[in-house]
Structure 1
Amino acid sequence: MNRKTLVLPALVGLLAPALAACGGSDSGSKSGDAIVVGTTDRFTATKQAPAPLDPAYAYDIGPWNLLRQTVQTLMITPKGEGQPVPEAAEKCGFTDSGNERYACTLREGLKFANGDPVTAADVKFSIDRARTIKADTGVFALLSTVDTVETQGDREVIFHLNTADATFPFKLSTPVAGIVNPKDYDKNKLRDGFSMDGSGPYTMKADVKNNELVDAVFTKNPHYQGTLKVNNDKVEVRTFPDADAMGAAIDKGDIDVMTRAMSPEQIRKLSNSSGDGKVDLVEMPGLEIRYLAFNTDAPSVKNKAVRKAIAQVINRSDLVAKVYGTQAEALYSMVPATITGHSNSFFNKYGDPSVSKAKSLLDKAGVTTPVKFTMHYTTDHYGPATKKEFEVLQQQLNSSGLFDVSIEGTPWKVFHPTMQKRQYDVFGMGWFPDFPDADSFIAPFLDADNTLNTPYVSNDIRKNLLPESRRQADRLTASSSLTGIQDIVAKDVPLLPLWQGKQYVAARDDITGAAYVINSSATLQLWELGRGVSS
């Protein structure tokens, strides 16, 4: 196959070039044939998590990417990224100098997909509902700076914040702030199952087997009003058990687009193959990160010296080279290198990997070696290379002689609730930001009600540095506070950043808009896809 690699420049906040797969116009698919998109994301309803697609519950990239197609938000990240712009709103903005009062005016004539009008009262209901339910995923914490929501008439919504929050417009672009119809969603209870309703660009019909969504058909919403140009009439999102099955489907022409998560081997093959085929690979900058998290109350890693010694031993460059090659790069902060406020805090503190320095840290703390613990990872959530990644980490730590590490992989539906119950001492996680700002790589893990439910608390971060950073509308001005937070993380090591990855989409060459179907935050934008003419 002739798989041409289109590379988009890593410029966050600037309009990327209008690259699309080979051939075709941007008029979109009008034939009624669905554009079929493959993914290895899994969507499962369980006893512990019966409402995977409720905006008040969902806090993961897969469910969010389905919600964004159907549930509209007041604000949205624009096509070229950068600052959010009004979407369900006609206009929004701070109305005071202290960034504590934020007002929005809804678009006139806005309707839900069933034809019901969308009112300011519905916005208030939706925001208050998420804050009231307080789902154990911690997604409600994105709205933690909201004090009260006021309405004036049918179109005016005013958010009174309990503290300055310059990142609030970004938070109104996330699915937890999605506008839902009170007829479809109970005020005090999550909506179980896989139904979604809203005023977004599509409606969704789900095919569910054994409590798992295997196929979702998105049909253009005739009542949609917003900023998005919808370039197709129908898109089908089809789930696959693994990357190999997804790759076979695009080779056979059963799907048109392949998104996350492809294997490193697939990406290399797609990049290097040549011939007369019909599939293109698009490479894009990404804000995905991977990291280790620690239950800082667990006996094996409660001593800070143990966590610091782990940070001193792990060789990120070796890890990336052996597992991901050029598809990722070493990361020395929870904040990616392309985000304003990034600082290489871990490299500044630990420098190059050193067993002797790690041994000294443990000796000074009186820690008996080897330190024994298990590193846990999920087998089916972050791509097929995760197991190899943890095998490399295990080898690095054990070869030092300072650690006796075992590894254990578990499916996500078991891994995630077990992690949140603090039953893992050390575990691997990935993160796609809620929005492209340093706050989204810090607050979800270090603020109150953190999504990991870890016991680590830094009062300086929570009470001083994080609030200071949110007062600054100019994010460059916030860099001092953000650097202070990253330095504390490097000193205490409740989290250990590993790498930052690129993003890839494969598409048959009669598909247009592939270069925009996901943005740097891995947000799925199905409306960008169209069907053109094959080369």
Structure 2
Amino acid sequence: MNRKTLVLPAVAGLLAPVLAACGGSDSGSKSGDAIVVGTTDRFTVTSDAPAPLDPAYAYDVGTWNILRQTVQTLLTQPKGEGVPVPEAAESCSFTDSGNERYACKLREGLKFANGDAVTAADVKFSIERALHINADSGVATLLNTIDTVETQGEREVIFHLKTADATFPYKLSTPVAGIVNPKNYDKRKLRDGFEVDGSGPYTFKAEVEDNAIVSATFAKNPSYKGSVEVKNDEVVMRAFRNAKLMGEAIDKGDIDVMTRAMSPAQIDKLDAGSDANVDLVDMPGLEIRYLAFNTNASTVKSKAVRQAMAQVINRGELVSKVYGTQAEPLYSLVPATLTGHSNSFFNKYGDPSAAKAKNLLAKAGISTPVKLTLHYTTDHYGSATKQEFEILQKQLNGSGLFDVSIQGHPWATFRPAEKKGDYDVYGMGWFPDFPDADNFLAPFLDKGNFLGSPYSNGTIRRTLIPESRREADRLNAAKSLTEIQDIVAEDVPVLPLWQGKQYVAARDNITGVSYALNSSSTLQLWELSRGVSG
């Protein structure tokens, strides 16, 4: 039986129900017992990014989804939703009332895949390594509240923080805090290429052509000790150039599971039950898309230009024409489903209005039309990105206030150029490191932010972010978080566009698909298995 499998939205602290796909057992991949997963994520080595899989460098959803299978962290995000739970650790907790001292005790008998013991010293090495290297990806900023790391014996690690940080347990569940073996990772430099070694659920081996991964094998790690139950022996991930080729592969049974990024048309087709052997699973997601600005660039240095763009862009039209019911308009960096969300952009700008935008530009003495180029990546966020930018171009030019052109670039060149400040305006997506409003604000606005943005607001950095992190009860952080969002709506260093759902498609003899992704878009390959349910 073909049907759409829906995981209902989960509230933090609650566990989403498991709804498994149902159907016959006469379908499946042509790769033996290994479960084959397709993706359009691109994993490449370039001169600008020679170490894409080093935990001290990696900072995008695709590379993190490789590391989460292979490199163990002290904590991990639970199967459903809620606060992080112990993984390499046996236990972790704040040991003071001020959320400034955090202690973890490792599980007994932990080993790296090569048989070496995992010790507290290895944890200390790994964390200090990421901070010391401080890669230009910006990932080390997740650990920037750490002052010192202390060990006591072989199994105890104590983190002394510079300031209170109630989100710190979430940060220890991210790959930048992954535990690596000092034998394989130099403390002073990144590990180039596609080798990954850790103590996670799987070992990893990549098949590479032209400096890009075309296929990767995740084999069950017999030495693994942790909180997850690995339900398969081997998963093969295949990288496709586009969603069309990935869709053809699942139709033919060459792959078992199809992950990000399917095209909107593919999702609609599967949702309608077009394939009796393939089921579509949708689940709540926290993915957002936004425009970012190099606020030092002459074209957008005046916030009036950025405000005028915020006043003109019609999110509702954009979403309906490109993504339909697969996305929703977003009026803040913080998704509507998270505690602390505020509709700050709608509160300030209301409905789209060219007349209001014209007044903003006139008051600032900006001549029109304002000439801009919007840059986007052609191969990282899905095949609909070009259409999205064509509509943005039409909306802005249709106001008579802008003269916009658009340019697409492959991710391998787009991301380094963005970090260097080569683009005045560019489109980005964000898959959260962890499901908390802080992670939709600090990475864009704090010192050393991952965009490399020159925008700096002292009130946000010195007062509001620290205030919000002092609150273990995140409801109590709402006031500070709302103030941050209101400042962003006023200054527009970034312009939020939409929030999306997430989807996985699987042939009907694959179970565990409902947990293949969590709300932070973390791929959990260990949940997949072969079988029949229904």
Query: TM-score if structure 2 supplies the norm length?
Result: 0.98
Q: Which residue in the other structure is 2:498 paired with? A: 499
Q: Which residue in the other structure is 2:76 paired with? A: 76
Instruction: State whether residues 32 and 233 of structure 1, in contact with CA within 8 Å, keep that contact through their aligned partners in structure 2.
Output: no
* 1:230-256 deviation per Cα after TM superposition (whole angstroms, max 9, x unaligned): 100000011000000000000000000
Q: Which residue in the other structure is 2:224 paired with? A: 224
Separation in 2, partners of 1:72, 1:431: 23
Q: Which residue in the other structure is 1:177 paired with? A: 177
* 1:460-482 deviation per Cα after TM superposition (whole angstroms, max 9, x unaligned): 00000000000000000000000
Instruction: State whether residues 334 and 340 of structure 2, in contact with CA within 8 Å, keep that contact through their aligned partners in structure 1.
Output: yes
| 1:370 pairs with 2:369 | yes
Q: Which residue in the other structure is 2:245 paired with? A: 245
Instruction: State whether residues 111 and 223 of structure 1, in contact with CA within 8 Å, keep that contact through their aligned partners in structure 2.
Output: yes
Q: Which amino acid in the other structure matches residue 93 of structure 2?
A: G
| 1:459 pairs with 2:449 | no
**5+ long unaligned stretches in structure 1:** none
Q: Which residue in the other structure is 1:211 paired with? A: 211
Separation in 2, partners of 1:516, 1:118: 28
Question: Alpha-carbon deviation of 1:23?
Answer: 5.2
Q: Which residue in the other structure is 2:337 paired with? A: 338
Instruction: State whether residues 55 and 176 of structure 1, in contact with CA within 8 Å, keep that contact through their aligned partners in structure 2.
Output: yes
Q: Which residue in the other structure is 2:433 paired with? A: 434
* 1:342-376 deviation per Cα after TM superposition (whole angstroms, max 9, x unaligned): 00000000000001100111111111000001000
Q: Which residue in the other structure is 1:279 paired with? A: 278
Question: Alpha-carbon deviation of 1:11?
Answer: 2.0
Separation in 1, partners of 2:353, 2:425: 21
* 1:419-455 deviation per Cα after TM superposition (whole angstroms, max 9, x unaligned): 0010100000000000000011001110000000011
Separation in 2, partners of 1:361, 1:488: 17
Please give the secondary structure, in 1, of the residue aligned with 2:475: coil
| 1:193 pairs with 2:219 | no
Q: Which amino acid in the other structure matches residue 348 of structure 2?
A: K
Please give the secondary structure, in 1, of the residue aligned with 2:265: helix
* 1:24-77 deviation per Cα after TM superposition (whole angstroms, max 9, x unaligned): 99xxx9x97100000000000011111000000000000000000000000000
Q: Which residue in the other structure is 2:146 paired with? A: 146
Separation in 1, partners of 2:22, 2:146: 46
| 1:98 pairs with 2:98 | yes
Separation in 2, partners of 1:32, 1:176: 34
Separation in 2, partners of 1:107, 1:409: 47
* 1:166-186 deviation per Cα after TM superposition (whole angstroms, max 9, x unaligned): 000000000000000001101
| 1:290 pairs with 2:289 | yes
Separation in 2, partners of 1:314, 1:283: 28
Q: Name the count of aligned residue pairs.
A: 529
Question: Alpha-carbon deviation of 1:533?
Answer: 3.0
Question: Alpha-carbon deviation of 1:147?
Answer: 0.4
* 1:210-246 deviation per Cα after TM superposition (whole angstroms, max 9, x unaligned): 1111111001001100110110000001100000000
Separation in 1, partners of 2:17, 2:74: 26
Q: Give the alignment of 1:344-355 within 5 angstroms.
A: 344-355=343-354
Separation in 1, partners of 2:405, 2:32: 52
Q: Give the alignment of 1:357-506 within 5 angstroms.
A: 357-506=356-505
Separation in 2, partners of 1:3, 1:321: 26
Instruction: State whether residues 8 and 283 of structure 2, in contact with CA within 8 Å, keep that contact through their aligned partners in structure 1.
Output: yes
Separation in 1, partners of 2:267, 2:417: 32
Q: Give the alignment of 1:317-336 within 5 angstroms.
A: 317-336=316-335
Q: Which amino acid in the other structure matches residue 518 of structure 1?
A: L
Q: Which residue in the other structure is 1:510 paired with? A: 509
Separation in 2, partners of 1:534, 1:107: 34
Q: Which amino acid in the other structure matches residue 140 of structure 2?
A: F
Separation in 2, partners of 1:316, 1:507: 31
Q: Which residue in the other structure is 1:85 paired with? A: 85
Root-mean-square deviation (CA), in Å?
1.4
Separation in 2, partners of 1:20, 1:46: 40
Separation in 2, partners of 1:278, 1:533: 12
Question: Alpha-carbon deviation of 1:3?
Answer: 4.2
Separation in 2, partners of 1:293, 1:114: 43
* 1:127-179 deviation per Cα after TM superposition (whole angstroms, max 9, x unaligned): 00000001000100000000000000000000000000000000000000000
Separation in 1, partners of 2:529, 2:90: 27
Question: Alpha-carbon deviation of 1:6?
Answer: 1.1
Instruction: State whether residues 166 and 471 of structure 1, in contact with CA within 8 Å, keep that contact through their aligned partners in structure 2.
Output: yes
**5+ long unaligned stretches in structure 2:** none
Instruction: State whether residues 293 and 425 of structure 2, in contact with CA within 8 Å, keep that contact through their aligned partners in structure 1.
Output: yes
Q: Which amino acid in the other structure matches residue 288 of structure 1?
A: E
Instruction: State whether residues 92 and 105 of structure 2, in contact with CA within 8 Å, keep that contact through their aligned partners in structure 1.
Output: yes
Structure 1 residues 117 and 24: alpha-carbon distance in aligned structure 2, compared to 1, 3 A threshold: farther
Q: Which amino acid in the other structure matches residue 390 of structure 1?
A: F
Instruction: State whether residues 24 and 531 of structure 1, in contact with CA within 8 Å, keep that contact through their aligned partners in structure 2.
Output: no
Structure 1 residues 24 and 227: alpha-carbon distance in aligned structure 2, compared to 1, 3 A threshold: farther
Instruction: State whether residues 181 and 198 of structure 1, in contact with CA within 8 Å, keep that contact through their aligned partners in structure 2.
Output: yes
Q: Which amino acid in the other structure matches residue 314 of structure 1?
A: I
Q: Which amino acid in the other structure matches residue 444 of structure 1?
A: P
Please give the secondary structure, in 2, of the residue aligned with 1:44: coil
Q: Which residue in the other structure is 1:44 paired with? A: 44
Separation in 1, partners of 2:89, 2:274: 47
Q: Which residue in the other structure is 1:519 paired with? A: 518
Q: Identity over aligned residues, as a percent?
A: 74
* 1:277-332 deviation per Cα after TM superposition (whole angstroms, max 9, x unaligned): 21100011100000000111111111111100000000000000000000000000
Q: Which amino acid in the other structure matches residue 61 of structure 1?
A: V
Separation in 1, partners of 2:236, 2:517: 16
Instruction: State whether residues 3 and 272 of structure 1, in contact with CA within 8 Å, keep that contact through their aligned partners in structure 2.
Output: no
Question: Alpha-carbon deviation of 1:273?
Answer: 3.0
